[in-house]
Structure 1
Amino acid sequence: MVKCLSQLVGWRTLVRAVSTLAFGLFLTLQFWVFTPTPAGATGVYSMPNVAVGEPTWVIDQAETMSRVTRNQISGELGKLAKQTGAEVRFVTIHRLDYGETIENFAQKLFQKWFPTPEDQANQVLLVLDNVTNTIAVQTGDGVKALLSDQMAESVAQETMMVPLRDGNKYNQAFLDASERLVAVLSGQPDPGPPVVDDTVQTEGTFARAEETDDRSATIVVVVLLVLATVIPMATYYLYQAIQS
């Protein structure tokens, strides 16, 4: 009898230890999966230095562009600088520092690279954060006669955003922006932003049987996953209540 009681107490201790360990692992997994981290955030002073006249036209820290795209854009912007003196630079980053905005980042980087009005005069800086797909443009006074603030904003928010909304097509977005900026700063007519097809599809407004089946299957899977999470936790707390 004593031996049986000892074994029973031993099993209860083992079950309690295993349950506690499983619950701890569950909480740890929840923490790592759902807690955001600032890893990889980019600050202005972590950016490389660039000076007026330096042939660095693309800094793709977020690795959004292919090598072919970077080379093509660098060639076009380098030719533009030689022919007109206007220097355009594209910068991509992956994640801003906490509390930073893309506009503030672009302004600070512009002032870091080109600290005086003379340095800033013929400069255009376009910065994209690929986590939020937000874009900001800074321009010097010397290019505003050709590239107004309104037009620069259109390049960022229209020319680039159309390809980005269509599946994050970064290569196309930067190629389109480069083409438009080169045309405008070369004194050519502004080609304008891309035309967006707003055609409304009137057919097929009702879900097909296959789509309904897929949705039902998805709902079942979600419910099963929730139950698989809730039931073990509820069992653990019930067990603790019984033991106390």
Structure 2
Amino acid sequence: MLCVPFTAKRAFWVVCLCFSFILFPLPSYALTVQDVPNPQEEYGGWVTDMANILSPNTETKLNQMITGLNRQTGEEIVVVTVPETTPAPSLKAFSTKLFNSWNLGKKGILFLVSKSDRRVEITTGYGIESLLPNGQVSGIIQKEIIPQFRQGDFEEGILAGIKSVAIKLGGDVAVLQDLAVDSNNPANSNQQSGYVALGILVIAALVLPSFWYFSSLGRRSDSDIPSELGSETGAD
């Protein structure tokens, strides 16, 4: 008789516990600035895509443009995407803290995107403010980036934003898009491999016809020997 109320009580608390998980779920993973890999330290690039919203091709384009801008003007742009910035009080607060943590300096720019918020924060060093004042930064965000984000196209929004920033900083976008990051970039290695393969094909196209031609001459000279000679020698 004592087991019945005990079992019922335990079942009651199990149900209560289940409802508590439904009504008050465990907090999600809290992202800190220490969790964000610095792309310059990781692989010598400019892009950290923690939100997984950029294709390898887009990352390559961004790295190429920013490397080209750095070579032309000396400015550095770091692009970071994160799923969210909780528990930071705001995207701006998280961006400022990350900017200072990486010590991007007076000529540095942090281009931070929060996927869950569909927002971007551009933090600039004090040496950039004369070239890219807050009013122009706001205009780039509202006109070039946010419309793309609202359509769910993060890649085009980020590319458009970086291009606009590069233009404001005096970069030649037409040149930037053609510049490679370095000779060790996988994209460049593939391109160089393509050139090597093309060169081999050209050489083969020039050499093989000559080889076939002289080979055919040798076959024709052998066939010109009269077949009767062999039979006459055998008759003797």
Aligned AA for 1:91? V
Matching residue within 90, 94, 110 for 2:79: 90
Paired with 1:36 and 1:133, the residues of 2 have a C-alpha distance of: 24
Residue 155 of structure 2 corresponds to residue 171 of structure 1: yes
**Matches of 2:70 and 2:123 in 1, distance apart?**
17
| Amino acid of the structure 1 residue aligned with 2:96 | Q
Q: How far did residue 29 of structure 1 move?
A: 5.4
Deviation at 1:179, TM superposition (A): 1.5
Matches within 5 A, 1:134-213: 134-166=119-151, 168-186=152-170
CA contact (8 A) 1:135 1:157 kept: no
Q: The residue matched to 1:138 in structure 2 has which SS?
A: strand
Q: State whether residues 39 and 47 of structure 2, in contact with CA within 8 Å, keep that contact through their aligned partners in structure 1.
A: no
TM-score (norm 2): 0.61
Residue identity in the other structure for 1:103: K
Partner of 2:108: 123
Tell me the matched-pair count.
Answer: 172
Q: CA deviation at 1:27?
A: 5.4
Q: Which residue of 2 aligns with 1:225?
A: none
- In the other structure, the counterpart of 2:233 is none
Among the aligned pairs, what percent are the same residue?
22
- Equivalent-residue separation in structure 2 for 1:137 and 1:71 (angstroms): 20
Tell me the SS of whatever aligns to 1:179.
helix
C-alpha contact (below 8 Å) 1:38/1:98 kept by paired residues: no
Task: Give the superposition deviation at 1:51.
Answer: 6.0
Distance (Å, rounded) in 1 between the aligned partners of 2:48 and 2:68: 17
TM-score, normalised to structure 1's length?
0.59
Once the two structures are superposed, what CA deviation does each residue of 1:214-235 show, in whole Å capped at 9, x if it has no partner? xxxxxxxxxxxxxxxxxxxxxx
Q: After superposition, give the CA deviation of every residue in 1:114-172 in whole Å (9 maximum; x if it has no partner).
A: 1xxxx511111111221222322111122222211111122234421111112x21111
3-state SS of the aligned residue for 1:120?
Answer: coil
Change (3 A) 1:175 1:34: farther
Per-residue deviation, residues 176-232 of structure 1 (Å, max 9, x unmatched): 11121122112579xxxxxxxxxxxxxxxxxxxxxxxxxxxxxxxxxxxxxxxxxxx
Greater Cα shift, 34-43 or 147-156:
34-43
Q: What letter matches 1:58 in structure 2?
A: V
Alpha carbon RMSD of aligned pairs, Å?
3.2
| Pick aligned residue for 1:48 from 13, 16, 37 | 37
**CA 1:187–1:76 in structure 2 vs 1: closer, same or farther (change >3 Å)?**
closer
**Which amino acid letter does the alignment assign opposite residue 75 of structure 2?**
A
1:62 aligns with 2:62: no
**Structure ranking higher on relative contact order (CA contacts 8 Å, 6+ apart):** 2
* Partners of 1:146 and 1:187 within 8 A in 2: no
Work out the CA distance in 2 between the residues paired with 1:100 and 1:143.
25
